[in-house]
Amino acid sequence: MPKDSKLPTSRRICPCRACKFNPSAGLQTERTIWNHLQTQNKHEPKHASATGHHTARGDEHATGYMQAPPAVAATSVGVPPQVVLESEHEEGSHQDHLRDTWEEHLDDGRLYLDVPAVERDNGGFSDDEPGLDSDLGDNNNMAVESFSQDCSSIGLNLALDITQENLSYRLSRSPSPSFSDPHVQNTVHNTPPASRPSSPANSDISLELDVEEDPLYASAEDIFDSLCMDEGLEDIGDAPTYGSPAAFSEDPILRSAYIRAFIAATVHGATNDLVRHILDSTYETISSLSRRGGFDVPGLDKMARTLRTVERRLGVDADQYLVFYFVCNICWFRHHPSELYALSGPACSQDGCLGTLYKTKIMANGKRKRIPTKIMPTTPTLPTLQRILSRPGKVEEFSKWREEGDASGQTPPAEREDWPGWANPQFRMYDMTDGWGWRAIQAGLQRRRGGKWGIEDVDVHELHQRFVALPIGLVLMFNIDWFQGTKRGNHSVGAIYITICNNPRSKRFLAEETILNCVIPGPDEPSLEQLNFVLEPFVNDMRQLYYGVNFHIPDEPEPQPAHGYLYINASDLPASRKTSGLRGHTSKWFMCPLCHQPFHSLIHPDCYDSEKFRLREDWRYIKYAFLSRHANEYDHQEIRERRGVIWSALNILPDWLPSRDSPTDFMHAAYLGETKHVIQDILVGGGMFIKRRRGNKPLDKLECFLADIWWPSTIGRLPNNLATGGAGKADQWRNFTTVLVVALYSSWNVNGEIPDEDAPQFSQSTKAGEAHARVEALLHERRCTHAAYNVNSTPEEFDDIPKVAMDRNYRRHFNVVMEWCAAIRIWSSQSISVEEASRAHDCHARACQTWAQMNCHLTPYFHLLMHLTSSYLLRLGPIYSWWAYPYERNNGLLGRFKHNGHGGGELEATLMRGWTKMTLIHDLILHLEALGPNKTEEDEAAITALKKYLKGDRKTSSTRGTLLTMIATMAADQSDALVQLPRYKKKVNLRTLGLYALVFTHLRSLWEPTTYLIPDTSMAPLADCDMALQLPTAARAVDMLRPFVVDEDVPEMPWNIRAVDLGLGVWHYGRLGAQIVVDVNAFSGHFALGSVMHCEMRLWVTMSLCHSTQEPDGLENDY
DSSP percent split of the chain into helix, strand, coil, nearest 5: 40, 15, 45
Closest residue by Cα to residue 170 from 339, 314, 43, 304: 339
C-alpha distances in Å from residue 470, one per residue of 7, 539, 565, 764: 48, 21, 12, 67
User: Is 650 in a helix, a strand, or coil?
Assistant: helix
Q: How far apart are CA 431 and CA 830, in angstroms?
A: 8
Q: According to DSSP H, which parts of 162-294 are helical?
A: 162-165, 220-223, 252-266, 272-293
Among left, alpha and beta (phi > 0; psi -120 to 50; other), residue 856 is: beta
Q: Which residues pair with 1092 in a beta bridge?
A: 1099
User: Which residues are CB-neighbours of 400 under 8 A, at least 6 positions away?
Assistant: 504
Closest residue by Cα to residue 394 from 858, 781, 927: 927
Contact 1103, 1053 (CB under 8 A): no
DSSP 668: I
Q: For residue 82, which amino acid is it? A: Q
β-strand pairing of 473-484 with 560-569: parallel
According to the 3-state scheme, what is the secondary structure of 113-132? CCCCCCCCCHHHCCCCCCCC
Q: Which residues pair with 1102 in a beta bridge?
A: 1065, 1089
Q: How far apart are CA 704 and CA 1090, in angstroms?
A: 11
pTM over 0.85: no
User: Is 864 in a helix, a strand, or coil?
Assistant: helix
pLDDT value of position 954: 42
pLDDT value of position 123: 46
C-alpha distances in Å from residue 328, one per residue of 401, 533, 679: 44, 10, 45
Q: What are phi and psi of 1044, to 5 degrees?
A: -65, 160
pLDDT value of position 263: 86
User: Is 806 in a helix, a strand, or coil?
Assistant: coil
User: Is 560 in a helix, a strand, or coil?
Assistant: strand
Closest residue by Cα to residue 687 from 794, 801, 810: 810
Q: Which residues pair with 562 in a beta bridge?
A: 549
Segments in the chain below pLDDT 50 = 1-8, 45-127, 134-213, 227-239, 898-899, 954-977, 1111-1119
pLDDT value of position 975: 42
Q: Which tens digits make up the pLDDT trace of 70-121?
A: 332 233 333 333 333 333 333 334 334 333 433 333 333 332 333 333 333 3
User: Is 1038 in a helix, a strand, or coil?
Assistant: strand
Q: Which tens digits make up the pLDDT trace of 153-185?
A: 444 444 333 233 333 333 333 333 333 333 333
C-alpha distances in Å from residue 186, one per residue of 153, 338, 550, 848: 21, 20, 8, 51
Contact 361, 222 (CB under 8 A): no
C-alpha distances in Å from residue 841, one per residue of 225, 342, 520, 636, 721: 58, 59, 37, 38, 31
Domain-by-domain residue ranges, the chain?
A: 666-697+718-872
User: Which residues are CB-neighbours of 712 under 8 A, at least 6 positions away?
Assistant: 1086, 1087, 1088, 1105
User: Which residues are CB-neighbours of 677 under 8 A, at least 6 positions away?
Assistant: 857, 858, 859, 861
